Each structure stands twice: as C-alpha cells, then as structure tokens.
Structure 1
Amino acid sequence: MNASIAADARMAKEVRPGRWTSLQVLVVAICAAINALDGMDLLIMSYVAPAMAADWNIGLAALGVVFSAGLAGMMVGCVAVAPFADTWGRRPTVLLALVLMTVGAIGSGFADNIVVFSALRALTGIGIGTLLASVAALVSEYGPPGHRSLAIGIFQAGYPVGAVVTGLVSLVTIPAFGWKATLIGAGVISAILLPIVWALLPESVTFLETRQPAGALARSNGLRRRMGWADLASLPPRDEVGSLPKPRDLLSGALLRPTITLWLATFLSFSVLYFVTSWIPKLAVEGGLSQAKALWAGSIFNMGGAVGGLLIGWLAIRRPIGRLIAVFFVICAVLMMIFAQQMPLALVLLTAFALGLTLQGGFTGFYSLSAKLYPARIRGAGIGWAVGIGRGGAIIGPMAGGALLAAKLPLWVTFASFAVPLVAAGLLAALAARLGDLSATDS
C-alpha cells in the first residue's frame, strides 16, 4: 500500500465516525463560503449581461464570447492549475485562485471594451476552476471519516446559496449603481475573503504527511492536536518525490477504467446541469408562466440545490455515493418530463425546487466520488480533471438547449433530449464507484 493510501487509512482509524472538531467545522465553513463565490460569478454575469450589452451596444454573438471566455478559463484552471495543489499544497493554491478571481472581477468592472473584459473574465474563470478542485480536495481530507460526503455536501451548498443571494442583490444594485459597480462589488467580496482565508485556513494534514514539504512533521502534529489526534513520532515513508501530477497518472493501471467512466459521467451531467441552470427561466415561460413569475423558478431551483447537496451528503453516510448519484439523476429525469407540462404556478415552483434538489444534489456527489477514487498524492489533479472535462459539457449543454428551443420543438422533446444523458450519467457514476472499489481491492 503506498504512502498516500496508508495515510488516508490511518486517519480513518484514529477518529471515530461522526466526531466533528472545531477545526474541521471551521475548514468546511470557510470552504463553503469560498464556493459561494462560484455561484456568485455564475449568476452575476446573467444579470449584468443585458445592461452591458445595452451600454456597449453589442449583440448576442459578442455576449456569447464573454460567456465562453469565462467557461474556457474555468477549464484551464481545472486541468492546468488545479493539479499544483498536489505539489504546492491545498492552501497556497486556494490563495492563488482567490487572488486571480479578485483581480479578474474588480478588473472587469473597470474594463472599457469587450476584448479586455473577455480577457479578465477568462482570468476569473481560471481562478474559479483552480479553486473548485483545490477546495474540494481540502474538504474531503478534513471531513470526519464516515462523514466526508456530508462535508462535501455542506461545501457544495455554498454554490446555490451564493447564486440565490447574488441574484437578489443584483436586482437592486444594477439599477441603483450600474453593472460595472456590481462587478466591482463582487470583486471586493473576494478581496475581503482573501485575508480571512490566509489567516484561518490550514494546510491539509494528508498533504503534509504524503508530500512532506519542509516542516511537515511539526505542522502536521500541530493540526493533529487541534483535532484530538495522536502525534506522529516521524513521518511515514514517502513513496515518491513531489512532482506535478500528469494525466497519465490518472490513466495508469487500475485507475484507467474508473477515470474514463468518471469523465464520461461528469461531461454528461455538466451538460444537463448548465442547460437547466441557463435556461430554466425561459423554460418556465415556455411552460406557460409570465416572465416575472419565471424568474422565481430560477431562484427556487437554486434553493433546492442547497438542500440537495446537504441531503446526498447525509445519505452518503450510510449509502454508496455512486448509487445515490444514480438514484438522484433518475428521479430528476422524471421531474424534467413533468416540468415540461402545463401546470399551475405552485406546481411549477415545487417541481423547480425538486429539480434543483435532485440535479444539483446528484452533481454534488461527483466531488465525493472523485475524492474517493484518487489517493491524496493526485487527488487535486483527479478532481480538477474530472471537473475540467465536465466543463466541456457545460459549454455544449446550453448551446444544444438553445438550438432545440429555437427549433420550436415540443418542450417535452427538449427535456427528453437531456433526460436520457442524465440517466446515463447516473449509471456511469455508479459504475465508476464500483470500478474504484475493485481497483482499491486489487491494490
């Protein structure tokens, strides 16, 4: 058994399931607040885009470039920068990502043309992509054994909460202060969070004991005491030097099949998630609601997502995460077909809430599944590449949905076109978990 797997196993034995220490609560709470920045970034562009287009007299094609720049930046952050969390450490990589986000967001508010604005949106996206993988790895390593999926569920709940709050705030700030001031305000929030993270967020104990940077033993024992764990007399044997993980590390030996299966699952699920997230107000209008009432569907959808992330994390204490993702996605596929029908407002909002709960809840499970599949030495890279591959689906999903809606097909046909890949994503997630269990047994 290699050193990183041994470290994970040793920590699981030292702390009984369900026991949360103040340090673990602090880490998960900080990471949830950080993840709210991703939700803030997603919604804020949706709200400022109309005002920006009117102010700069640009069309839909130019807006598409802006949105694509942010998504492309996220992909770069996930696959190119996030793996450094496995060599530099989780903490410095998170701090770097926050700096990139802050500079990008504040700079966007001062940009005076679409080219500069798009470049700064790409920079913000790189920060977000780096942040998600690094923070997810940190949360999985600080979550108590048996409750790690719950810890990730709490962390992921920050995303929809950030989206809902940003939407409500933007409705006030854009008319009152303008879209540029709103973007600058988002950057200021990141800037305020930066010194808090620097002061309070610790390094991962697992990283310290597997990668063993300078002073690792003293730093690890200091954190262990804060969590009531026994001190180490010496660091465990290190099976390799700290080199930057590469894609072939994720595709070698027993990891090949679970990695490919996971990537297919995240790609499909991202395409459905971003289709629904991007188009749910429009879909509600197509379903018969007024424009004003349809906006509520988007907020209710994100509220359901917050509950769903917590729910799947709680259920994962006793149930396999791969199977839970599959169940959530199958239920969501049924709900998508229901949402396509003409219904009273109350039922539309209830279905939107249930859609958010099952779709975003099931999606949250991928962070737990990714963290479980990969040992600590490549965990940041594993999560980063899974999310990065998924971002490709995030680009394709909204585009495909727009094409289907433009074709004036029956709404149920559009939803069925995404319900099928969602079910496939759930089955692939269950298979990836099974393959991961088999590879762990073989090792």
Structure 2
Amino acid sequence: MYRMFSYDWMETMRVTNQWLGATAQAFGSYPAHGLAPNPMFQMISAWGDVTERSFDRMVAKPDWGIPSVVGEDGRDHVVQVQKVLSGDFGDLLRFRVQGRPDTGRKVLLVAPMSGHYATLLRSTVVSLLPDCEVYITDWHNAREIPVSAGKFDIEDYTRYVVDFLREMGPDTNLVAVCQPVPLALAAVGWLAENEPESQPRSMTLIGGPVDPDAAATEVTDFGARVTMGQLDRMVIQRVGFKYGGAGRMVYPGLLQLSSFISMNLETHSKAFQEQIMRVAKGDAGDHDRHNKFYDEYLAVMDMTAEFYLSTVERIFKTREIARNAFTMDGQPVDISKIENVATMIVEGENDDISAPGQCLAALDLLTALPADKKKTHLEPGAGHYGIFAGRSWRNNIRPLVLDFIDNNAGRPATRRPAKSKAAAAPDEPSEKSRTPV
C-alpha cells in the first residue's frame, strides 16, 4: 500500500505543478496588468506557460504527426497509421503510404521500451518512409494495462518480436535500436532454430548492449553497482488508483524522467530558462525547437517491474545474450543457429550509452553466418541519438542501411537508396540530454 501511495504522491505533485503553471499564466495575463509598465507580469505568465505545458506533457502520449510523404512522382502521399497486430503490451503498426507503389523494402523498426514511447523514433520513421514500407513496434504504457493481462518481462518482449516477424514474413528487414538489440537478436535466433521460414532477410543492430562488459559506460557501471534488492526497493512502485493498471508493479515513468534530467541537470535548466525568456518576448511557438524536443522528451511511460528488473539482471548482470545463454520458457535460444540473416552493426564513436564494442559483440555470436553477410559501421563523432535519428543517421547511416538492405535482396544495381524528400529534422541537441534508450 505504501508503494501505491508513493505513486499517487508523484502524480499529485505533477498535477499540482501543472495547476500552478496554469494559474500563473492566467494571473500574469490579466488585462489590468497592462497598465503597469513592468515586465514582471510577462515573466510570470511565461513561467506559467512553460511550466503548465511541461507537466501536462508528462502523461500525454505523443502523436506520430506524419500527415504525408513526398513520393518519387513529386506528389504528396497521405500516410495512414494502421494496426496490423495487437497485443496487451504492444502493437505492430504500419505506416501505409497511400497511392504509392510498393518500394520493395519492408522494414520493421524494433523500438526501445525504456521510458519513452515508440514516437521517440518518429524522425527515423520519417527518414525511411520515402524509400521503405515501414512497420514499428508500439509498446503500451504499463500503467494502463490491467493486472489481469499478466506479466511482461524480456522473454515476453522477445516473444512479441517473434510474433511480429512471423506476421510480416521472410522478406522483412529488421532494424533494432539500442535497448531491444539483444532481444531482437534472440528473437531471430529462436526463429532460426524453430521457424527458419519466418526469419527476416536482414537485421541492422544499432547501438545496443549485446555485451555490456565490452566497454564500460555510466549505464553499465550503475548496473554493476546496485543489487537487485536495492533496485526493487528504490524504484519499483504500484500503479495508483487513477489508471487502468491500478495495482500493477512498475518502474514509474515520472521516476525515470527525474533520473534522465538529473544526468544533465545544468543543460535542461538552461534550456527552460531560455524558453521562458523567449515566451516572455513573444519569440516562442508551439512547434519551435524547444517544444518539439521536450514534448517528446517529457512524455514518459511506465515499464512493468518484471521487464525492468529482468533487463538489468539478465542482460547487464549475468550477460545471458553475450554468453549465448538466453532462454525462453526454459528453452535455450542458440544465436549461433543464425546462418542466413545478413547482419549490419552500427555504432557511434562517442556513444556514452552503448559504447563502441557493446553492439559489435553480436558478430562473435554469429559463428555460422558467412563473412560476406556481415557488415559493420562506426560513425565518427556520433553520439547515441545521432546514430538512429540525428544528423549522422540522416546523412551517413541511413544510405548505408538502405544499401545493405538492397544488396541482400539481390538487386543492388536496380534499387539504389533514393535521397529522402522528407523534411529534415533540426540539428539534434546534446547527446547527453537524451534518454538512455
């Protein structure tokens, strides 16, 4: 009961700050204050505007916001988000580009479950849509999932990826980003041994902790320092009465957000101070760079307790994937059974979340995969966010990934990756200001 109280207490603090922001905005906007030539009232209103928006976004699931994409014919094609497969803990979504011929590149983006929604990969989706048929794993917020739906740990996550690949068929090209990289690798290993006809054609693994011990980071150091008992006591709480998942044990999104922000508190504080000044001067907008970033960054979701704890214990502490000792329902998953799935490893030189070497360790497990089906790329100067959604991804890595997909589809001479006609996102902020996905 105490843990449920602490969950509701955090939600109470969030709602209170949202209310204080709305109140300050309204107070500072009274017409009568225009009689006093004092900028204090504009500052009060601006502080309230930024505060209210920030705390409101913490419980809002962002929209995909991809209305259309420009095709090779130069016309705008409407993008429709379709639910292909549905589950209690996640869905398989397709971004169908209407009125456009099939591109021949079917891509499954395996999104992280690490505190943020799959919309964290929106810019990745936008960059791929002009050239690919894009699907994505859309994980649900644990606070909205009834206890009756049961548990969800890393084995269940892997099973969902298996189901999605089975649904999409063998012409799929899997692209996994960060946290799900080792589990996506395990899913393909399970298919290789049990349902080889459902294996994807290729997989691209981007900045994931296949072997966390290959290169130390703050994330791996934290996993090594704390015990499972400490984690259980410090971060696990029960969902409060307000949500559909009342009583479910979770790692709360608000608690995760506080740790994300504390990692780079000075940068975030400066960003909000500058935004308050912009709002007071009338220079801010609903879709300016600050709001576009923080509307996504502040939108956090709860993870099931069993998923978070099993990730720390089995991926980081006992290194089951790195040792090829992962099991599903007691059945060993032998990653070395993968013989035909072309694999590309992408890492960032300055990645401080999944440092170079952690993802590359996947190739050591693929002992039966021919050398000509293996490819690696280390992006110079790139941090964690840049290798899947930033400038490095758009300008350098994306074309390489499309080349890799085409080469393993047997049509390198006829289907070269087209230049993206999608609008380029603004230059990404500091890598450390992003969440460790």
Q: Name the structure, 1 or 2, with higher relative contact order (CA <8 Å, separation 6+).
A: 1
TM norm structure 2: 0.23
Query: For the pair shown, which has the larger CA radius of gyration, 1 or 2?
Result: 2
Name the structure where helix makes up a greater proportion of residues: 1
TM norm structure 1: 0.23
